[in-house]
Amino acid sequence: MMPRPFGTLSNTCSNGFTSTRPQSQHHGDCDGDREPVSRSSGGLTETRVLVVDDDAQMRLLVASVFIRAGATVKTAECAADARKAIVQFEPHLLVSDIEMPGEDGCALMRRIQHPSLFPCQGRDLPSIALSGSANPETRVNALCAGFRAFMQKPFVAVELVRLAVELISTRGTAPGSSK
């Protein structure tokens, strides 16, 4: 059993989804001499983030970054679970690994953008592709598949949160807005 990040409450459903949300007011996490990843610096309060990664430790790490920034997070282990979560959870942001067995992150993105499969949910969904690959072709493929941004692993937590805030705010329908 993997330990949960401090200050979170996790709920694993029978369908394999894990919903995690902040439990206490402790959200700080320093990254060297950079400013802390927190609700005040992250601006992700009222934001739903779907994290997709086949690696359980990476899923937990990415989820904890967003939880500390104030987001409500749901995780999925594979593309099939992610598609179900998009419909049920209606995330404001998708963060997905690219290299997964079976259907990879690029195939997931292309599929959720297909109007007949996902008429509304996936087409305008801000999204970040994560990959451990340093190959420039991986980045190009992810962006061509429809991801709005790409970040290489290992990543700096505060930079991932800043990128997420930027993507969500430029969408024009930030969580909590009257739009």
List strands edge to edge, sheet with 48-52: 8-12, 18-22, 72-76, 48-52, 93-97, 127-131, 149-152
* Beta strands, E only, the chain: 8-12, 18-22, 48-52, 72-76, 93-97, 127-131, 149-152
Per-residue pLDDT reduced to its tens digit, 61-111: 999 999 999 999 999 999 999 999 998 999 999 999 999 999 999 999 999
Dist CA 163 CA 134 (whole Å): 19
| Residues 127, 96 contacting (CB under 8 angstroms) | yes
Query: pLDDT grade, residue 43 (50/70/90)?
Result: confident
Structural domain for 149, as ranges: 8-171
At residue 28, the pLDDT reads 35
Query: Residue 117: which region, alpha, beta or left (left: phi > 0; alpha: psi -120 to 50)?
Result: alpha
At residue 173, the pLDDT reads 47
Residue 127 lies in a domain: yes
Q: What is the pTM of this model?
A: 0.75
Per-residue pLDDT reduced to its tens digit, 65-78: 999 999 999 999 99
Phi, psi of 115 (to 5 degrees): -60, -35
Q: Bigger pLDDT: 19 or 130?
A: 130
What is the enclosing helix (H) or strand (E) of 60? helix 56-68
Residue 179 lies in a domain: no
Question: Residue 25 pLDDT > 80, yes or no?
Answer: no
| Residues 76, 85 contacting (CB under 8 angstroms) | yes
Mean pLDDT of 44-60: 96
At residue 121, the pLDDT reads 54
What is the enclosing helix (H) or strand (E) of 109? helix 105-112
Q: Any idea what the CATH number is for the domain that residue 102 is in? A: 3.40.50.2300
**Amino acid at the residue 7:** G
Residue 178 lies in a domain: no
- CA-CA distances (angstroms) from residue 119 to 15, 68, 70, 87, 112? 23, 32, 29, 10, 9
Residue 131 lies in a domain: yes
Residue 113 lies in a domain: yes
Q: Which of 153, 8, 10, 150 is nearest to 70 (CA)?
A: 8
What average pLDDT is seen over the chain?
Answer: 79
Residue 64 lies in a domain: yes
Residue 176 lies in a domain: no
Give the chain's domain count.
1
Residue 177 lies in a domain: no
Question: Residue 20 pLDDT > 70, yes or no?
Answer: no
